[in-house]
Chains A and B, each alone.
Chain A
Amino acid sequence: MKKSQIEEGIVKGFMLLSFSLVVCSLGFILVTVIVKGLPALNLDMLIQTPKGGYYLGKEGGILNAIVGSLYLAGGATLLALVFSLPIALFLKTYSRRKWWADYVRLSLDILWGIPSIVYGAFGFTLMLALGLRASLLGGIIVLALLELPIMTRGMDEVIRRMPIDMEEAAYALGATRFETAMHVVLRQMLPGIVTAILLAFGRGIGDAASVLFTAGYTDRIPNSLLRPVASLPLAVFFQLGTPFPEVQNRAYAAALVLTVIILVVSLGSRWLSARMGRYTIK
């Protein structure tokens, strides 16, 4: 065999290995969650809040955690969006002062890598200082901090990849700045922006450590931003920690619900960006 053929073979082997590793671990996780969670899952779990004795195996559901997680991640994603879009635009506009933009990007990348428990601890200290108690608001703020670097860097990449020639093509036809922004720039960037938003949402909804101290946990659905709120990751955590097998199975059911939400969000974002991205210039 020639050297190039051997090399080719090795590369192919590694590709196959990494491919099967990724697919198998996804499959394994899904199978575990489904096998263990599906039997415990029923309609009551999805539409009821925990009744007395729920954590001992009596009736009730995890509606508090489902709604709580959607509130937390939804609110955090909105909040993060309010900040990250301007930051990303700012990074492009001021990219001429390159060292500055690079510094901001580096900070965002570091923030991205910080473990969420550190965000949680930071948020907790902040809330103590402000006299806030564990609440929906606290959880939203900390999750927003967690999501911010993911979203901003995602958008930054999208904006950076926006070809200047494309804007010029529109200007050359006599389009105004507004028309160019709405019909051309936005159309080109929207799929990427939506992907960045949903990616951040997915990260936010799945995180347990950052909401542990900041959002608290409750069996009720909060009616105010200042009330504590439950979340799916913590529902998994607490139920798995009980000594009762029924309750542990419900933890898997909660994990299944969370996994399905994340699956829907990521497949949805794929579908959406493929649909909106039909005409974008790659």
Chain B
Amino acid sequence: MEPHIQVRDLNVYYEKIHALKDIDLEIPRHQITVIMGPSGCGKTTLLKSLNRFLELNESTRMSGNILIDGEDIYALGVDVTEVRKKAGLLAQHPFPLPMSIYDNVAYGLRIHGMCPNGRSVDAKVQHYLLEAGLWEEVKDRLHFPATGLSVGQQQRLCLARGLAIEPEILLGDEPTSALDPISAQHIENRLMDLKNEYTIILVTHILRQAKRLADYVVFMYLGKVIESGLPGEIFDNPQEERTLAYLEGQF
């Protein structure tokens, strides 16, 4: 099967910091790809290159190609908002929009004209809040400010909001980092369900989570992809010393 996303010879610099070095990757469709690696190795940067977020920061430079469905997302004339709608990013730090809980989820639906009439907005908001496992906690205060939520709740709100725009690709940057094990487990189960329809790229520091979810594993170190492959190979029989050291907790 043709990979959903292809990264070719990607290099990224922040001013003088060489954050990503010669990345070549193929991300399989409708599977969960887990990216692991020590802090600062470039995981977030890699995700941000996939939804064209790097260009928000003026000091970044990049070279190389990224293809989604065989099409270069950095080609001239590509609508950047389409790319971002297609590859929805769940940021490392959840950040609600300055709106109510309801509107946080409905906002994406509205700007993309995905709900021609009002009633279906209600239904969709409920649907995606349920998906993210937040509905029960917020159903009585949908029109309260989203800032009133706890960090873990905000994280799930951001998941609901990200799912609501119906992306094809979900880029999750440690989407369970602020959650307790039970809520995290809930999100993990959702991700397992979602992978039938979505290509999911997940950054995580939690080894057990990676083992539970991964269909494909990428291990990064100091801006490079050291190793990538099936979880059976990477977790049980890593070819590289640095992978082994990381898995054994030496970083």
* A180-188, A215-223, A237-245: which lies at the interface: A180-188
Taking CB atoms, residues of chain A closer than 8 Å to B58 are: 96
A171 touches B162 (CB 8 A): no
Taking CB atoms, residues of chain A closer than 8 Å to B98 are: 166, 184, 187-188, 279-281
**Is A174 in the interface zone, CB < 8 Å from B?**
yes
**Is A165 in the interface zone, CB < 8 Å from B?**
yes
A174 touches B112 (CB 8 A): yes
Taking CB atoms, residues of chain B closer than 8 Å to A280 are: 98, 147
Q: How far is the CB of A174 from chain B (nearest CB, A)?
A: 3
Residues A168 and B95 in contact in the complex (CB < 8 Å), given A173-B161, A173-B165, A176-B81: yes
Which parts of B68-114 form the interface with A (CB within 8 Å)? 81-82, 84-85, 88-91, 93, 95-100, 107-108, 111-112
**Is B203 in the interface zone, CB < 8 Å from A?**
no
**Is B234 in the interface zone, CB < 8 Å from A?**
no
Contact among B56, B107, B146 for A171, CB-based, below 8 A: B56
Taking CB atoms, residues of chain A closer than 8 Å to B147 are: 279-282
Interface size class of chain B, counting residues whose CB lies under 8 Å from the partner chain: 20 to 34
**Is A179 in the interface zone, CB < 8 Å from B?**
yes
Residue of A nearest to B107 (CB): A173
Q: How far is the CB of B170 from chain A (nearest CB, A)?
A: 11
Majority SS at the chain B contact face: mixed
B97 touches A169 (CB 8 A): yes
Taking CB atoms, residues of chain B closer than 8 Å to A165 are: 91, 93, 95
Considering the chains assembled together, what is the distance between the CA atoms of A282 and B51 in angstroms?
Answer: 28
* Residue interface bits A147-180, CB-to-B below 8 A is 1, else 0: 0000000000000000101111111111110010
Taking CB atoms, residues of chain B closer than 8 Å to A170 are: 97, 107
Q: A166, A167, A183, A282: which has the most chain B beta carbons within 10 Å?
A: A183
Residue of B nearest to A175 (CB): B111
Taking CB atoms, residues of chain A closer than 8 Å to B100 are: 279
Residues A169 and B146 in contact in the complex (CB < 8 Å), given A174-B85, A174-B108, A175-B81: no
A174 touches B95 (CB 8 A): no
Contact among B56, B99, B146, B165 for A174, CB-based, below 8 A: B165
* B residues at A contact (CB < 8 Å): 51, 53, 56, 58, 81-82, 84-85, 88-91, 93, 95-100, 107-108, 111-112, 145-147, 158, 161-162, 165
